[in-house]
Amino acid sequence: MLLLLYTAYPYATIWQLDQSVTSQNESALEGLVDWDSLGAGLEDDLEGLFDHPDPASDDPMDQLAENLLGVFSDFLIDPIVAFYTTPRGLAYLLNTQVILDDPGEALEEDFPSEDTWFDHISSAGFTGPTSFRVEVSFPTDSDKALSEEGPMALEFRLQGIRWQLVRVRLPLEDLAE
């Protein structure tokens, strides 16, 4: 019986996440999302879109480029991450798969009420004893399809006695081009 509960628990968490994101229920999301891990992963993904010069390089141009990337991160990437690590931002990210240059562009009509990420789950399963992955594939002809590179993936980790969303991986390869 315990094994059955353990196996079903992440699936129940996925459903709870969908309900909480759709209603933007902040108190429910606090227990379902590890906001720090989510933000750190998104920041890593966005910074990975840019070519970083070798930090050990003695070339002054490489050092200048590295410094400019640091400033760029503070002024562009940090506000984007700050937006997406809120209930409203997470709802926007999951339901549209869009990374906005200016999060202020997220208008209320951009938040679909019927056709959500939950309706497009293509696979879900354990990737380890304390990790679980959900892949969401919007049809490529949909206006929600970020790219044809692959599905959006939600990664959950068992933290204490709760499953929490710790990472959203978007197929960002198209954005880097």
Which tens digit of pLDDT belongs to each residue from 26-49? 889 889 999 999 999 998 888 776
| 81 within some domain | yes
What predicted TM-score, i.e. pTM, was given to this entire model?
A: 0.78
| 154 within some domain | yes
Domain boundaries, position 89 = 2-50+57-172
Give the number of domains in the chain.
Answer: 1
Confidence of residue 144 (pLDDT cuts 50, 70, 90): very low
| 17 within some domain | yes
- What is the rounded average pLDDT for all residues in the chain? 79
In whole angstroms, give the CA distance from residue 143 to residue 81. 23
pLDDT value at 176 more than 50: no
- Indicate the burial class of 176 (C-beta count within 10 angstroms; 0-12, 13-18, 19 or more): exposed
CB neighbour burial string for 110-127, b if at least 16 within 10 angstroms, e if fewer: ebeeeebbbebeeeeeee
Q: What is the mean pLDDT of residues 96-117?
A: 64
Instruction: Specify the higher pLDDT residue, 113 or 26.
Output: 26
Instruction: Specify the higher pLDDT residue, 167 or 63.
Output: 167
| 88 within some domain | yes
pLDDT value at 137 more than 60: yes
| 177 within some domain | no
